[in-house]
C-alpha cells in the first residue's frame, strides 16, 4: 500500500493527490468570484454531493439530463483541488462550484462580489460517523483507527481533510449570515422537507420553477436516485484514492445514525466539547 502523505496549509491539512499550496494561495488571493457564481460550501460529509445535485437540477428546471450525463465534479467542481480549479477556470458562466474550505481560506474576492453562497451544515455527530466510515475506505488519509480514536481527532479539528475543525468552519461561515448573498441551511432540513428547501433555495437564487419542475428536482435528488446515478454516487472516485469495497459515498443518507455508534459516555463527552466550542453562537440548529 502506498504511503499516505499530507501537507499543512494555514493549520489545515490537505492531500497532495488533490491539493497544492500554490492553488490554495491562488484561490484565496487571486481567484475572482463573478457576480453570477453560485458556490456551495459544505464541511465534508455534510451533504456536498446532495447540494450539488439539487443545484444542478434547479439550474436545468428539474430536467435530469445534465445530472445523468455529466459527472458531479465537472458540474460543481471543488475549486480548492487542482483539477477542480482547472475546471472552474474553464467553466462557462454562470458557474456552479463547491468547496469544503473554511471561510478564512475562501477567495477574498467574495467580499466585493455578489456571488451567491449556499452553506449546508449537518449534525456534527452524524458528520463524525459518516467521516469515520468514509475514512476507512479512503487510501489517501491515515486510517481513522477506532471510533474512539477518530472521535478525538474529529473534535480536535483533524477529521478528513481540507476543512479543519467543524466548530471553526460553522462559526467562521456563520459570520456571513447577514449578507444578502449568503444562504444557510442544514442537511436535516433537506431531510425533513426537501420540497420546502428547494423552494427556499430557488427564492434565494431568484429562480422560478413551477410545481412540476420542483417535483422533478425532489425526485431526482432523492437518496435512491443519487445512489443509482453513477455520475453522482462516487463511482468516479479513483481506485487510487478510495477502496470501493470498503465504503460508499452514498452510505445510509439518514439523520441520527450517530445513535447507532456513540456510547453514552462518548455522547456526553461530545456534548460537553460542543457546548464549550459553540458558546456564544446565537443560533438554534435542528440537532440542538
- Interface residues toward ligand PPS, by CB under 6 A: 42, 44-50, 126, 130, 133, 221-223, 226, 249-253, 257
CB 176 within 8 A of CB 182: yes
Length of the chain: 288
Residue the block writes with cell 462550484: 97
CB of residue 69 to ligand PPS, shortest distance in Å? 18
Rg (CA), the chain: 18
Nearer to ligand PPS, 45 or 95 (CB): 45
Q: Which residue among 19, 49, 100, 169 is the active-site one?
A: 100
Nearer to ligand PPS, 108 or 219 (CB): 219
Nearer to ligand PPS, 109 or 215 (CB): 215
The span from the CA of 164 to the CA of 105, in Å, is 11
Nearer to ligand PPS, 108 or 248 (CB): 248
Which among 163, 125, 144 has a CA at the least distance from the CA of 44?
A: 163
Nearer to ligand PPS, 224 or 263 (CB): 224
CB of residue 114 to ligand PPS, shortest distance in Å? 26
CB of residue 112 to ligand PPS, shortest distance in Å? 28
Tell me, yes or no, if 9 is annotated catalytic: no
The span from the CA of 96 to the CA of 28, in Å, is 18
Which among 184, 163, 185, 166 has a CA at the least distance from the CA of 175?
A: 184
CB of residue 211 to ligand PPS, shortest distance in Å? 21
CB of residue 47 to ligand PPS, shortest distance in Å? 5
Could you give the residue numbers annotated as active site? 100
Amino acid at each position: 500500500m502506498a504511503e499516505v502523505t499530507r501537507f499543512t496549509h494555514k493549520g489545515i491539512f490537505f492531500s497532495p493527490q488533490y491539493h497544492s499550496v500554490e492553488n490554495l494561495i491562488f484561490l484565496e488571493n487571486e481567484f475572482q468570484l463573478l457576480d453570477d457564481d453560485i458556490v456551495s460550501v459544505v464541511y465534508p460529509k455534510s451533504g456536498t454531493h446532495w447540494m450539488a445535485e439539487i443545484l444542478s437540477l434547479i439550474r436545468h428546471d428539474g430536467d435530469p439530463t445534465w445530472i445523468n450525463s455529466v459527472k458531479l465534479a465537472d458540474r460543481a467542481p471543488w475549486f480548492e483541488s487542482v483539477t477542480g480549479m482547472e475546471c472552474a477556470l474553464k467553466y462557462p458562466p454562470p458557474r456552479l462550484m463547491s468547496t469544503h474550505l473554511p471561510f478564512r481560506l475562501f477567495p477574498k474576492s467574495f467580499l466585493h462580489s455578489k456571488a451567491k453562497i449556499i452553506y449546508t451544515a449537518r449534525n456534527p455527530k452524524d458528520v463524525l460517523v459518516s467521516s469515520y466510515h468514509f475514512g476507512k475506505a479512503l487510501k489517501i488519509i491515515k486510517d481513522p483507527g477506532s471510533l474512539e480514536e477518530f472521535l478525538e481527532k474529529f473534535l480536535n479539528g483533524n477529521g478528513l481533510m481540507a476543512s479543519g475543525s467543524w466548530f471553526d468552519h460553522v462559526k467562521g461561515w456563520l459570520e456571513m449570515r447577514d449578507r444578502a448573498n449568503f444562504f444557510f441551511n442544514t442537511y436535516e432540513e433537506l431531510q425533513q422537507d426537501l420540497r420546502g428547501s428547494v423552494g427556499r433555495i430557488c427564492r434565494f437564487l431568484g429562480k422560478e420553477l413551477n410545481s412540476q419542475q420542483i417535483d422533478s428536482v425532489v425526485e431526482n435528488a432523492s437518496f435512491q436516485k443519487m445512489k443509482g446515478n453513477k455520475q453522482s454516487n462516487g463511482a468516479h472516485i479513483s481506485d487510487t484514492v478510495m477502496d470501493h469495497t470498503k465504503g460508499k459515498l452514498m452510505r445510509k443518507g439518514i439523520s441520527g445514525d450517530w445513535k447507532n455508534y456513540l456510547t453514552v459516555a462518548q455522547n456526553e463527552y461530545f456534548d460537553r466539547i460542543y457546548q464549550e466550542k459553540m458558546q456564544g453562537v446565537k443560533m438554534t440548529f435542528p440537532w440542538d
